A and B are shown apart, each in its own frame.
Chain A
Amino acid sequence: KQEVTQIPAALSVPEGENLVLNCSFTDSAIYNLQWFRQDPGKGLTSLLLIQSSQREQTSGRLNASLDKSSGRSTLYIAASQPGDSATYLCAVKADKLSFGAGTTVTVRA
C-alpha cells in the first residue's frame, strides 16, 4: 500500500523567504506526482504535475523536483508572499491517487 508523508505538518516563515516543502512516498512504481494547493474550506487547485520520467517542473516561482528511486519530491516556492499561505498537498498516481496529509504554510507579512 502506498504511503505518502509530508513533513513538517506546519511551517511559518517571514515574507520573502524561500519555502521548501517535502513529500516522501513508499512505492516508487508511480506514473506521476502532483502538488496541489488548498485554501481553508476550499477545494484543491493543481500547481504542478511531474511525470515519472521527469526530474522537475517549473511554473513561475514554483519548482518541483522528483527523485523516484528514493521516493522523494520537493516543492520550492521562491520569495514567499502572504498570498502563498495555504495547505500544500502532494499526491502520487499509481493504480489510484494517494495523498499526503499536507503542509500548512503561513507567510508572515
Chain B
Amino acid sequence: DGGITQSPKYLFRKEGQNVTLSCEQNLNHDAMYWYRQDPGQGLRLIYYSQIVNDFQKGDIAEGYSVSREKKESFPLTVTSAQKNPTAFYLCASNYGGTDTQYFGPGTRLTVL
C-alpha cells in the first residue's frame, strides 16, 4: 500500500531532551512537509523540502531541525530550544507545486 507513515504515534519528552519524529513515504513524492497543530489553531508549517538534500524553513522553524538524505524520509528533530513543543505533528508529501498534499497519521508529542 502506498502512503505516509509516522512514528511513533505518541511520544513523551522530558525537559531538555531532543526527540526525533519519523516520517516515511512510498509515494515517490519529491516534496515533504512538517506541520504543527495546536488546539483551536490552523496547521503551521515548520519545515519543507522540495528535493533530496535541500530544505527550507517554514513559519515556525525555531527549535526544530530536519534532514532529507533520502527521497522517502524526512525526520524532524524537536530540540530542547523549542520552548513549547507539546503538540500534534503532521507530515505531508506531494509531487510539489500546487499538487494536493497527502498527510500521515500524525505524532502526538507531550513534554513531561
Binding site for B on A (CB under 8 A): 4, 9, 31-32, 34, 36, 41-46, 49, 89, 91, 93, 96-102
Which residues of the other chain, A, contact B92 by a CB distance below 8 angstroms?
44
Contact (A43, B104) CB under 8 Å given A31-B98, A96-B58? yes
Contact (A96, B45) CB under 8 Å given A44-B90, A46-B100, A101-B40? yes
Total A-B residue contacts, Cβ distance less than 8 Å: 46
Binding site for A on B (CB under 8 A): 4, 6, 40-45, 48, 58, 88, 90, 92, 98, 100-106, 108
Across the A-B interface, the 3 shortest Cβ-Cβ residue pairs? A99-B42, A43-B103, A44-B103
The chain A residue sitting closest to B6, CB to CB, is A43
Which residues of the other chain, B, contact A101 by a CB distance below 8 angstroms?
40-42
Which residues of the other chain, B, contact A43 by a CB distance below 8 angstroms?
4, 6, 90, 103-106
Considering residues B40, B100, B102, which has the most beta carbons from chain A within 10 angstroms of its beta carbon?
A: B100
